[in-house]
Amino acid sequence: MDFKVYAIRSLTSNRIYVGQTANFERRLDAHNAGRVKSTHKDCPWELLKMDSFDTRSEARWFERQLKSSLGRRQKWLSQ
C-alpha cells in the first residue's frame, strides 16, 4: 500500500494544511465536505504538493517533520 503526505491550500483563506493518508481522494473529499474538524472552516481546498511513502510510519514521521518546522515545510513546498 502507498501512503501520501500532502499539503492542501484553502481557496478562501490561503491557509495551508499538511496531512497524511492512504487514500488521498477520499481524504480531500472529506476536507472539502467539511468533515475534518481542523479544516472545516476554510473550505474549499486544493492540492499543493504530495509525496508517497511505502509505510504509514514513514509518512507519519515525514508529516511530523513538516508540522514541527516552518522552514522544512516551506523548503518542501518550494521544491
| Helices 70-78 and 56-68: angle between axes, nearest 10 degrees | 110
Q: Quick one: pLDDT band at residue 50, thresholds 50, 70, 90?
A: very high
What's the pLDDT at 24?
A: 97
Q: Collect all residues with Cβ–Cβ distance below 8 Å to 41 and sequence separation of at least 6.
A: none
| Residue 65 confidence (pLDDT) above 90 | yes
Does the predicted model carry a pTM greater than 0.85?
A: yes
| Tens digit of each residue's pLDDT (9 = 90 or more) over 34-49 | 999 999 999 999 999 9
pLDDT at position 1 over 80:
no
Mean pLDDT of 25-29: 97
